[in-house]
Amino acid sequence: MLKAGLDESKAGINISGRNINNLRYADDTTLMAESEEELKDLLRRVKEESAKAGLLLNVKKTKIMANNNLSFWQIDGEEVEAVTDFIFLGSKISSDGDYSHEIKRCLFLEKKAMASLDKLVKTKDITLSTKDINECILKNYAECSNPRLFYIIPYFCGQHPKCRDPGEWALERAKQNVNENFLLVGILEELEDVLLLLERFLPHYFKDVMTIYKNPGELRQHGLFI
């Protein structure tokens, strides 16, 4: 990706004075441009540099989305599927900018995920005297054997000292935080670029997010607290 010279290319989207044309992740790459010609140029650069390393573009897994009616798109004679929405960092992004369905989807997924943890405190296989999440985990009961539990609960619980241990208090705090705060969850390797995109394309939900991110002191002015 670096050899393809994407960061030096003038093709891309200008957001707050910064030119952004790609977001790179461990197993995924997103290219962005203001025209079909620019996008094709970026994609060709990636294809050419990838081919030098013995890597080929999987057209079947490549999708394109535009904010106009795009039904057919080709690159070097190969057709690329045009879509009206796709999953980006675990969230559905649509060409019309409507986020209402994604909010409902996130609420459903988080409630389903947190509900699956209820058995940790409601299981009848453990007596009342030993019905403790910490002991359940330490003794490796089947319902507590998932190693990701040590990461899931503290992650959603927050920065409180009690969140370091995935106990009952941390679980309840995690549920509360997910319900109230975690409508958009993702692993962001290029946080600032993602925030800029969200601020531009979803201003109703992410207006001034970069200002708040770079100046935590302004949180109080926006009525937000961390």
pLDDT in 10s for each residue of the chain, 226 residues: 555 667 777 788 888 888 888 877 766 788 888 888 888 888 888 888 888 878 787 878 888 888 777 767 877 777 888 888 887 777 777 777 777 777 787 778 777 776 766 665 566 554 544 445 556 656 666 656 555 556 667 777 877 888 877 677 887 887 777 666 654 444 445 667 767 777 776 776 677 777 777 775 554 454 443 3
- Tokens 């904010």 correspond to what residue? 67
Q: Rounded distance, CA 216 to CA 160, Å?
A: 19
Nearest Cα neighbor of 42 from 57, 26, 27 is: 57
Helix, strand, coil proportions of the chain in percent (round to 5)? 45, 10, 40
Contact 10, 180 (CB under 8 A): no
